[in-house]
C-alpha cells in the first residue's frame, strides 16, 4: 500500500505513537511561508550552477524532441491525436465539458446544456451562503484545530499553518456515475456532486484527520482500496460465514471530531490511558 510521506513524520511505527513535533511546517501542502536558505560556500554554489545548466540543457532537448514528433511521444496515431486536439479546442470554446467518471476514472464528454441539466438535482433547493456565515464556519474549524494543537503540542509555525483564513468558496462539479444504470442515452447516468476541498476552509482539519487515520489503515490487514475490493470481501465473507467487525472510516473521523466536548486539558491524559495508538 502507498505510504504517505507525512505518515512517517507524524506516526512512529515502532512504538505506535503520534507526535506533531516531528512535522516540519515546510512539508505541509498549505504552508504559508517559505524562507530562502542561507548562502553556502563558493564550491557548493558553483556545483548548483553547473547542475542547473545541465538540467536546462536536458529539458530543452526533451522539449525539442517532443515538438518534432508529438504523435510518437503521446503514443497516439494520427487520427486519435487529431481527435484529441479537436476535443481540447472544443473544451476551451465551451462547447463540451470533459470530466472523469465517478469511481472508474474514465473520461466523460458532456454538452454544456446536458451537464447543467444533470446537476440540477444537486443545486435545486440549496440555500444561499453569505460571507458572514462562511467566516463563522472558518472560526469554528479554526477552534477545532486550535484544540488539537493544544493537545498534541506541535511547533508554533506548524500550529499557525493549520489555521485557515480568507479561503475561497470551493467549486461544485459533478462526476458521471457510469456504474449506475440509465435508460436515456442522451441524458446519461446521474452525477455525483463533488467540491474541491483543497481550497475550502475544512482543508486543514481534513488533512489533519487523514494523518491520524492513514497509519491505522496501513496497519490493518483487512483494508479495501476500492468498491470492487469491498464487494469481493463481502462476497467471500458471505460464502465462509466468517462475520467480523466492519468499521467505517467516516465514523472514526466523526467520532474524533466529537471529542470536542471533553476539556482540552484532560484530552492528553484521556488518549494516553484509553486509546492505542497513543498521542505524545
At 224-236, the pLDDT tens digits run: 766 777 778 778 8
- Specify if 140 maps to a domain: yes
When pLDDT is averaged across residues 106-128 and rounded to a whole number, the result is 88
Cα–Cα distances (Å) from 175 to 97, 119, 186, 189, 190, in that order, read 11, 10, 16, 10, 8
Grid cell in block for residue 199: 481550497
Rounded distance between C-alpha atoms, residue 25 and residue 39, angstroms: 21
- Specify if 176 maps to a domain: yes
DSSP of 145-186: HHHHHHHH---HHHHHHT---SPPPPPEEEEE-TTS--S-TT
DSSP of 107-119: EEEEEHHHHHHHH
- Specify if 96 maps to a domain: yes
pLDDT of 251 above 70:
no
- Specify if 131 maps to a domain: yes
Rounded distance between C-alpha atoms, residue 217 and residue 224, angstroms: 9
- Specify if 186 maps to a domain: yes
pLDDT of 75 above 70:
no
pLDDT of residue 52: 94
- Specify if 68 maps to a domain: no
- Specify if 39 maps to a domain: no
At 57-70, the pLDDT tens digits run: 999 998 888 777 65
**How distant is the alpha carbon of residue 159 from its chain centre?**
20
- Specify if 255 maps to a domain: yes
DSSP of 225-265: -SHHHHHHHHHHHHHHT-------HHHHHHHHHHGGGS-HH
At 80-102, the pLDDT tens digits run: 888 888 988 998 988 899 988 88
| 29 secondary structure, DSSP code | T
Query: 0.75 cut: is pTM over it?
Result: no
Q: Which residue range(s) make up the domain with 255?
A: 5-33+77-279
> At 187, is the secondary structure helix, strand, or coil?
coil
Domain count, the chain: 1
Grid cell in block for residue 249: 472510516
Amino acid at each position: 500500500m502507498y505510504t504517505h510521506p507525512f505518515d512517517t513524520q507524524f506516526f512512529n511505527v515502532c512504538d505506535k505513537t503520534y507526535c506533531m513535533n516531528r512535522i516540519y511546517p515546510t512539508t505541509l501542502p498549505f504552508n504559508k511561508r517559505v524562507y530562502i536558505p542561507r548562502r553556502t560556500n563558493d564550491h557548493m554554489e558553483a556545483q548548483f550552477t553547473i547542475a542547473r545548466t545541465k538540467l536546462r540543457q536536458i529539458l530543452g532537448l526533451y522539449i525539442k524532441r517532443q515538438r518534432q514528433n508529438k504523435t510518437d511521444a503521446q503514443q497516439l496515431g494520427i487520427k486519435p491525436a487529431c481527435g484529441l486536439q479537436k476535443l481540447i479546442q472544443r473544451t476551451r470554446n465551451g462547447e463540451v465539458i470533459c470530466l472523469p467518471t465517478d469511481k472508474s476514472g474514465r473520461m466523460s464528454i458532456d454538452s454544456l446544456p446536458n451537464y447543467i441539466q444533470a446537476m440540477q438535482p444537486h443545486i435545486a433547493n440549496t440555500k444561499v451562503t453569505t460571507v458572514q456565515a462562511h467566516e463563522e464556519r472558518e472560526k469554528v474549524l479554526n477552534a477545532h484545530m486550535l484544540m488539537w494543537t493544544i493537545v498534541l503540542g506541535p511547533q508554533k509555525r506548524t500550529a499557525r499553518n493549520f489555521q485557515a483564513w480568507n479561503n475561497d468558496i470551493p467549486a461544485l462539479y459533478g462526476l458521471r456515475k457510469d456504474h449506475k444504470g440509465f435508460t436515456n442515452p442522451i441524458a446519461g447516468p446521474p452525477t455525483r456532486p463533488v467540491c474541491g476541498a483543497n481550497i475550502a476552509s475544512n482543508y486543514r482539519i481534513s488533512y489533519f484527520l487523514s494523518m491520524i487515520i492513514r497509519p491505522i489503515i496501513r496497519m490493518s490487514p483487512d483494508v479495501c482500496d476500492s468498491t470492487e475490493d469491498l464487494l469481493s470481501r463481502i462476497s467471500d465473507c458471505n460464502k465462509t460465514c466468517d462475520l467480523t467487525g466492519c468499521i467505517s472510516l467516516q465514523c472514526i473521523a466523526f467520532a474524533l471530531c466529537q471529542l470536542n466536548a471533553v476539556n482540552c486539558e484532560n484530552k492528553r491524559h484521556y488518549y494516553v490511558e484509553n486509546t492505542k495508538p497513543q498521542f505524545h
